[in-house]
């Protein structure tokens, strides 16, 4: 039982990883303004990556 992701799904997984890693600097209590402002693009990357993985594949969900 594998994920069987297409290119679209693999791009989604990569965006999810980058988005998740971009969150880390903003989670530190002593983070600066730049790290805090980076949270919005991180959230967008994570959201779009999740969308790509979720819409990858066709047919009826099992």
pLDDT digits (tens, 9 = 90+) for 1-48: 566 788 999 999 999 999 999 988 888 888 888 888 889 999 999 999
Q: What is the pLDDT of residue 31?
A: 83
Q: CA-CA distances (angstroms) from residue 28 to 25, 32, 60?
A: 6, 9, 42
Residue 58 or 16, more confident = 16
- What does the alpha-carbon distance between residue 5 and residue 8 come to, in Å, rounded to a whole number? 7
Q: What are the residue boundaries of the structural domains of the chain, listed by start?
A: 7-54
> pTM for this structure?
0.80
CB 35, CB 28: distance < 8 Å? yes
| pLDDT at residue 46 in the model | 95
Whole-number Cα distances in Å, 46 to 7, 54, 60, 62: 17, 12, 25, 24
């Amino acid at each position: 039982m594998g994920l069987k992701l297409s290119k679209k799904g693999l791009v989604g997984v990569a965006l999810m990883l980058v988005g998740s890693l971009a969150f880390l600097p903003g989670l530190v209590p002593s983070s600066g303004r730049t790290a805090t402002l980076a949270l919005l693009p991180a959230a967008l990357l994570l959201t779009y990556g999740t969308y790509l993985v979720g819409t990858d594949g066709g047919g009826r969900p099992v």
